[in-house]
Amino acid sequence: MLAVYLKDLSAYFRTFSGYVFMSVFLLITSIFYVTGNVFSANADYNNTLGSIIFIFILVVPILTMRLMTDEVSQKTDHLLYTAPISFTDIVLGKYFAAVTVFAITLLLTCLYPFAISFFGELAVWEIVGGMIGFFLLGCVAIAIGVLISSVTDNLISAAIGTFGALLAIMFIDSFRSIYPAEINPNAVFAAVLALGIAFWVYRMTRSHVLEIALAVLGLGAAGLVFWLRPELYQGFVYHLLGWFSVFFHYSNFQMGVLALSSIVYYLSFVVLVLFLTVQILEKRRWS
Amino acid sequence: MIEVIDVSKRYGKHLAVDRVSFKVDKGEVLGFLGPNGAGKSTVMNIIAGYIPMTAGKVTVDGLDVVADGHEVRRKIGYLPEVPPLYGDMTVAEYCTFVSRIKHVSSSKRKQHIGEIMELVQITDVRRRLIRNLSKGYRQRVGLAAAMIGHPEVLILDEPTVGLDPKQIIEIRNLIKELGKTHTVILSSHILPEVSAICERIVIINHGRIVASDTPENLSARLGGGKDLVIRVPGQAEPALAILDGIAEIKEVEVMGEREPGTVDLLVKSERDTRSDIFFAFSKAELPLLTMKPYDLTLEEIFLQVTQEPQEGSSDVSSIS
């Protein structure tokens, strides 16, 4: 893992992608800092941080699009896959390299609140909490970028895919709050979801038997619940998608609350996404 | 050391490798010969554990490449068709990275890399970016990467492709040298190259093994070495008349005019008839402008081995 980590970390600074990421990140944050804190003479830095969480949609693709796709296009995946290291080593090495670049950049932005502290009262611990949340949110976004980079074949689709996935995750909050909470539409959603999962399994395994079995099982379970305990469908979509509303969980941090549940949520999200990445890579290799 | 048992690889409907079986003993240098697209790289990728087989089994030193993948990969040094190089690294950085992923201990790393660089002669370019290296140097850096970590088995996919003649000879000698301490599988589509380095040759075409033997037996079986091409001035008839007088000659084929005013003849015989031909022509006072052994091209070898399916299939079963 360390070998891959060191290689990819230095690759960020050998090529331009690390510098491009840093410049874009610092440019956007500084614009919001100047308008949100300096011009308005406002010491609430957490508010600024909270208003720029969309930044990940723009900058994370820069950071992650090359990670796996470059190996494939340069054919260096031959070297990595035939070396005595595991996919976990490769994925974690790459992930931590990207996180390190992000962490360095984020540390540079600490200058902003530091500058504020000369001119007013600074809620130091709240800002520390906000920064930790911001960092964790970035870690989640980078994990998603690593995942997308592993399933796409070229740089452009990795970049657009990551952008799209992060955008979709950002809009999940709006979607889940406008989706009706009544029982029927939620039951329909569950049925569609069951069919979707069955189709996805088919795409992965190419087994019609498994697909039909899963579809029947999923629809059966959904129908059974609908028949026996329909009240369980109340707000089903809202709760289900709540699991994926990464940006929503940031609100705690923005208020400066270092909630353990949010930290655990972000960390487990990262672990889950990276685990999925390793599984997908293994699957792609052995099929 | 390496055992490939009934390995098949299917890409969708296309069967790239069809029940390939062969064995490589410890310390042996095996040549894997075949035209482009015959399935050479696919078989090598499977042995190196880069891609899985659709059916069959490969063991290296008794370990299954799928089930014990991690252990097997420690034993194998692999140079794929396109050397897996990072263009933005220097040669030294690249070698260090490779030695790290191959778990070379940090105390031995510097010395180990130094030795290998010296062996493949890339020490003088160690500080240069790989991206700026010539094809020959890149190939050698790839070879160095395969050798790092002292793997017992080297799998080299067309190691001399794109090199100039001098480099080809250097790499060939290097591989010969490595063959003394390593088990080597080497692929190529050039017959003389394989016969120069390898102790045994496996010929593969359309994903199937069509022949497997030592270079000597193979060329003997294919009639190589005993068939001659001669060039005489003027017409073919007088020469044919002279050749008719030599009893051992089985068959003479007129190959036509390759040089203005001359004619080429292909002489097929059971044993070495060079002296007989020489004296017969000198007696008739007809000059022999050229006399050389008839080298089969790879295409002709394929034609020949694929035209004798009986022998080919018996060979396959004898080595599996």
pLDDT at position B250: 82
Q: Would you say B202 and B21 are in contact if contact means Cβ atoms under 8 Å apart? A: no
Among B17, B159, B152, B9, smallest CA distance to B72 is for B152
Measured distance CA(B11)–CA(A279) in Å, rounded: 22
Q: Mapping DSSP to helix (H, G, I), strand (E, B) and coil, where does residue A152 land? A: coil
Helix (H) or strand (E) holding A99: helix A87-108
- Please give the structure tokens belonging to residue B253: 């084929």
Q: Which CATH class is domain B228-292?
A: alpha beta
**B67: buried, middle or exposed (CB in 10 Å: 19+, 13-18, 0-12)?**
exposed
Residue range B236-248, pLDDT digits in tens: 888 888 888 888 8
Interchain CB contact of B88 with A (< 8 Å): yes
Measured distance CA(B2)–CA(B53) in Å, rounded: 15
Predicted confidence (pLDDT) at residue B295 exceeds the cutoff of 70: no
Q: Do residues A99 and A197 both lie within one domain? A: no
pLDDT digit string (tens) for chain A, length 287 residues: 899 999 999 999 988 889 999 999 999 999 999 998 888 888 888 888 888 888 999 999 999 999 999 998 989 999 999 999 999 999 999 999 999 999 999 999 999 988 888 887 888 888 888 899 999 999 999 999 999 999 888 899 999 999 999 999 888 888 888 888 788 888 888 888 888 888 888 877 777 888 888 888 888 888 888 888 887 777 778 878 877 788 878 887 877 778 888 899 999 999 999 999 999 888 877 76
The order of strands in the sheet holding B55-60 is B14-24, B2-11, B55-60, B63-64
Interchain CB contact of B78 with A (< 8 Å): yes
Phi and psi at residue B184, to the nearest 5° = -125, 135
Q: Do residues A74 and A191 both lie within one domain? A: no
Closest in A3, A14, A86 to B88, CB measured = A14
Residue A207 structural domain: 183-234
Q: Do residues A222 and A193 both lie within one domain? A: yes
Residue range B165-208, pLDDT digits in tens: 888 888 888 888 888 889 999 998 777 778 788 888 888 888 88
Closest in A7, A83, A286 to B73, CB measured = A83
The distance in angstroms from the start CA to the end CA of chain A is 25
A77, closest residue in chain B (CA to CA): B84
Interchain CB contact of B55 with A (< 8 Å): no
pLDDT at position B311: 43
Measured distance CA(B147)–CA(B29) in Å, rounded: 15
Q: CATH number for the B2-221 domain, one of 3.10.580.10, 3.40.50.300, 3.30.460.10, 3.20.20.70? A: 3.40.50.300
pLDDT at position B100: 93
Measured distance CA(A215)–CA(B208) in Å, rounded: 42
Q: Do residues A55 and A8 both lie within one domain? A: yes
Q: How many CB pairs under 8 A join A and B?
A: 67
Closest in B66, B73, B97 to A82, CB measured = B73
Q: Would you say A120 and A43 are in contact if contact means Cβ atoms under 8 Å apart? A: yes
Residue range B55-108, pLDDT digits in tens: 999 999 889 988 888 889 999 999 998 999 999 999 999 999 999 999 999 899
- Please give the structure tokens belonging to residue B315: 């060979």
pLDDT at position B4: 92
The answer to whether B80 contacts A78, with C-beta atoms less than 8 Å apart, is yes
Q: Which of B10, B42, B101, B156 to mutate to test binding with chain A, by most A CBs within 10 Å of its CB?
A: B101
Measured distance CA(B7)–CA(B54) in Å, rounded: 7
Q: Identify the bridge partners of residue B185 per DSSP, sorted by sequence position.
A: B30, B155
Sign of the C-alpha dihedral computed for residues B299, B302, B306 and B311 taken in this order: positive
Side chain identity, residue B93: E
Interchain CB contact of B162 with A (< 8 Å): no
Residue range B252-270, pLDDT digits in tens: 888 888 888 888 888 888 7
The answer to whether A78 contacts B85, with C-beta atoms less than 8 Å apart, is no
Measured distance CA(A249)–CA(B224) in Å, rounded: 77
Residue range B17-70, pLDDT digits in tens: 989 999 999 889 999 888 777 888 999 999 998 988 889 999 998 899 888 888
ipTM here? 0.84
Number of domains in chain A: 2
Helix (H) or strand (E) holding A24: helix A17-33
Q: Do residues A119 and A260 both lie within one domain? A: yes
Q: Do residues A28 and A161 both lie within one domain? A: yes
Q: How much of chain B exceeds pLDDT 90, in percent? A: 32
Q: Which of A70, A78, A87, A206 to mutate to test binding with chain B, by most B CBs within 10 Å of its CB?
A: A78
Q: Which of A7, A10, A14, A79 to mutate to test binding with chain B, by most B CBs within 10 Å of its CB?
A: A79
The answer to whether A4 contacts B101, with C-beta atoms less than 8 Å apart, is yes
Q: Do residues A225 and A253 both lie within one domain? A: no
DSSP A44: -
- Which residues in chain B are closer than 8 Å to A87, comparing Cβ atoms? none
Q: How much of chain B exceeds pLDDT 70, in percent? A: 89
- Which residues in chain B are closer than 8 Å to A10, comparing Cβ atoms? 93
Measured distance CA(B309)–CA(B313) in Å, rounded: 6
Q: Would you say B142 and B85 are in contact if contact means Cβ atoms under 8 Å apart? A: yes
Q: Do residues A53 and A152 both lie within one domain? A: yes
A75, closest residue in chain B (CA to CA): B84
The answer to whether A82 contacts B103, with C-beta atoms less than 8 Å apart, is no
Chain A closest-CA separation from residue B179 CA (Å): 21
Predicted confidence (pLDDT) at residue B313 exceeds the cutoff of 60: no
**Considering all CA atoms of chain A, what is the largest pairwise distance in Å, rounded to the nearest integer?**
68
Q: Mapping DSSP to helix (H, G, I), strand (E, B) and coil, where does residue A122 land? A: coil
DSSP states of A49-91: HHHTTTHHHHHHHHHHHHHHHHHHHHTTHHHHHTSS--HHHHH
- Please give the structure tokens belonging to residue B161: 């492709």
- Which residues in chain A are closer than 8 Å to B82, comparing Cβ atoms? 75, 78
3-state helix, strand, coil in chain A (%, to 5): 80, 0, 20
Predicted confidence (pLDDT) at residue B298 exceeds the cutoff of 80: no
Interchain CB contact of B50 with A (< 8 Å): yes
The answer to whether B76 contacts A82, with C-beta atoms less than 8 Å apart, is yes
- Which residues in chain A are closer than 8 Å to B76, comparing Cβ atoms? 82
Q: Do residues A171 and A210 both lie within one domain? A: no
Chain A closest-CA separation from residue B6 CA (Å): 18
- HEC secondary structure over chain B: CEEEEEEEEEECCEEEEEEEEEEECCCCEEEEECCCCCCHHHHHHHHHCCCCCCEEEEEECCEECCCCHHHHHHHEEEECCCCCCCCCCEHHHHHHHHHHHCCCCHHHHHHHHHHHHHHCCCHHHCCCEHHHCCHHHHHHHHHHHHHCCCCCEEEEECCCCCCCHHHHHHHHHHHHHHHCCCEEEEEECCHHHHHHHCCEEEEEECCEEEEEECHHHHHHHCCCCCCEEEEEECCHHHHHHHHHCCCCEEEEEEEECCCCCEEEEEEEECCCCHHHHHHHHHHCCCCCCEEEECCCCHHHHHHHHHHCHHHHHHHHHHHC
Q: Which of A5, A74, A82 to mutate to test binding with chain B, by most B CBs within 10 Å of its CB?
A: A82
Q: Do residues A175 and A187 both lie within one domain? A: no
For chain B, the structural domain boundaries read: 2-221, 228-292
Last-in-domain residue among A214, A234, A254 = A234
The answer to whether A84 contacts B89, with C-beta atoms less than 8 Å apart, is no
Among B204, B264, B183, smallest CA distance to B39 is for B204
Kindly state whether residue A240 falls inside one of the protein's structural domains.
no
How confident is residue B300, by pLDDT bands cut at 50, 70 and 90?
Answer: low
Closest in B48, B97, B102 to A7, CB measured = B97
How confident is residue B317, by pLDDT bands cut at 50, 70 and 90?
Answer: very low
Task: Pick the more confident residue, A181 or B118.
Answer: B118
The answer to whether A75 contacts B89, with C-beta atoms less than 8 Å apart, is no
Q: Would you say B186 and B29 are in contact if contact means Cβ atoms under 8 Å apart? A: yes
Q: Do residues A127 and A251 both lie within one domain? A: yes
Q: How are beta strands B200-205 and B183-188 bridged, if at all?
A: unpaired
Chain B closest-CA separation from residue A94 CA (Å): 14
Q: Do residues A195 and A263 both lie within one domain? A: no
List, in order, residues 6 or more apart from A27 with CB less than 8 Å away. Answer: none
- Please give the structure tokens belonging to residue B91: 């040669």
Residues present in chain B in total: 320
